[in-house]
Amino acid sequence: MPSKSSRKILSAVLLIAVGVFIGIQAKDLIGADDTYEQLKKLENAFLLIDRQYVDEISPSKLTESAIQAMLDDLDPHSTYIDAESIRRVQEQYEGSFGGIGVWFEAPAADTARVTSTIPDGPSEIAGIRAGDRLIGVDGDDITTMGSLDIQRRLKGEPGTTVTLTVARRGVNRPLSFEITRQIIPLYSVDASYMLDDKTGYLRIGRFAMTTHEEFVEHVTALKAQGLERLVLDLRQNPGGIKSAAVKIADEMLDGTGTIVFTRGRNPQENEIDRVTPGGILIDEPVIVLVDANSASGSEIVAGALQDHDRALIVGRRTFGKGLVQRPFQLTDNSVLQITVARYFMPSGRLIQTPYEDGNVEDYYATKFSDYELAVMNPEEYLDHIPDSLRFETLHGRTVYGGGGVMPDVIIAPDTTLALNSPLVRSLLQNAVLSKFTRGEFDKYESRIRTRWDDKKDEFLDTYSISDEMWSQFVSYAGEEGFTFVQDGEDIAEGIFLKSDLARSQDVLEVLLKARMSQRLFRSEAWYPVFNTIDPVIQETLNLWGSALDLVALYQSPPRSSSETGF
């Protein structure tokens, strides 16, 4: 007889095979002779390995390997999430978690340090301050723990308490605080502010349950500040909850029509999300920024607005994920995220990159090569797209399927810019700027916060890197292995010309200010500083004429329609 653990894991394997498909009864699945035979084969293989393999094995590890192997033969986006990881994933999209309301960093070989607390949150109320070093949780030493382990200790059910022990500069003994956990929001809008007197900027980092509510709240606030046009930044946004992306697109569309529709094996997966009357941004010009890491929900927003001729899409070709996953919980609370449908833009185009060969490495390699061609040689890239992947927007513009959303305006990387120079890239890749600003706060945090706390606007408008700080930064870069030599001398890895440093000084000072701003006012304060040197943002500001033309086109009678879309 198989052991109890073997029978338990085998039950989980059989559940995967016959119990996770919505709308299909298990008896329907095992009624087919071939399906039944394959399940018996799977059972036999599992029990033989469990009983006969030369070394003792972990049934759970074997099961998870088998699940992953099955998923590998499906598509690149069907995934298995173990029970330990699922909570963290859920928090990202639920938009909240039980915690103490503190942001911290845990650099390698250093003690975790509080960077900020949520205003009026449990940590701030208890007395935790930015700059405090986290050294203990409920009496246990956490000085050698990594970020994820510390997070696990600090999170918990709202209403429960945790004792946090910190070391504070200027205090010669540890301080302990009893903190009651509360619901802590996780915001999906990373930044929202006015680029100029009439141009709003809003960046969405992911699509969560709270994203639509956040979007409406921020756009309302921007309108109160004079917004007449919007830059919607979806770069680096990997997607998330489909319904949230649909609602965002709907806020910029009016009347009738389709936003996105899905087609799956099971009829219940066939859905059409339609435009509803009204919206918070139905008349204003909109530019949507995308890049190679804009995926899924981001592509729904960009693709729908492009197909309706509603917004100008700017940047670089998107990732190309046109598959819909649905989560199915297994007996141990782990989850299978299985692709159940494909989604299509209103024009009828599928933006999923082909994956028929089943090779994940080839899938991503093809994405990279196609992306390079699409960005650096867009005309050649478009010439190779077959007629079967060419579609028309509501008013007759040509758009493309088969691999991401192709922007209306492509902005390729400019290697002549100081921001893209080998020196700046190397300093960023080695986190030299982050480590330098962290050191400045370690030494002078009290003085810095006394001067700038609650003065965000003044800091953004007036703060600049002093000559003294610049000299200290150059010296610190030297300590981190960067050497600067005169023109004509030999250069190698870690050796750069002094003229390159001089040419990059303005950009590096902006990046240092952005890091300082981020530490003072949290992550959203990075963007108002960095965007002043972001070449995509700067070029976007010259494209409002094209965006206005699209508004006029969108508001004119459509030239064509589609049976499956519009």
Closest CA relative to residue 310, chosen from 557, 558, 550 = 550
Give the active site residue among 50, 132, 233, 307.
Answer: 307
Q: How many beta carbons lie within 10 A of that of residue 87, not counting itself?
A: 14
Torsional sign, CA 381, 385, 390, 396:
positive
DSSP 394-441: TTS-EEE-SSSPPPSEE----TTSGGGSHHHHHHHHTTHHHHHHHHHH
d(CA 248, CA 245): 5
Let me know if 296 is a catalytic residue: yes
Token pair of 433 as six digits? 């700027």
Question: Given the DSSP bridges, would you call strands 483-485 and 409-410 parallel, antiparallel or unpaired?
Answer: unpaired
Q: Which residue has the tokens 């309706």?
A: 308
Token pair of 288 as six digits? 């949507």
Closest CA relative to residue 406, chosen from 432, 380, 434 = 380
Give the active site residue among 116, 296, 421, 517.
Answer: 296
Give the active site residue among 321, 367, 500, 513.
Answer: 321
The secondary structure of the chain in percent helix, strand, coil, rounded to multiples of 5, reads 45, 20, 35
Radius of gyration, alpha carbons of the chain? 27
Torsional sign, CA 399, 261, 211, 275:
positive
Q: How many beta carbons lie within 10 A of that of residue 433, not counting itself?
A: 20
Question: What are the angstrom distances between the C-alpha of 468 and each of 471, 474, 519?
Answer: 5, 10, 20
Catalytic residue numbers read 296, 307, 321
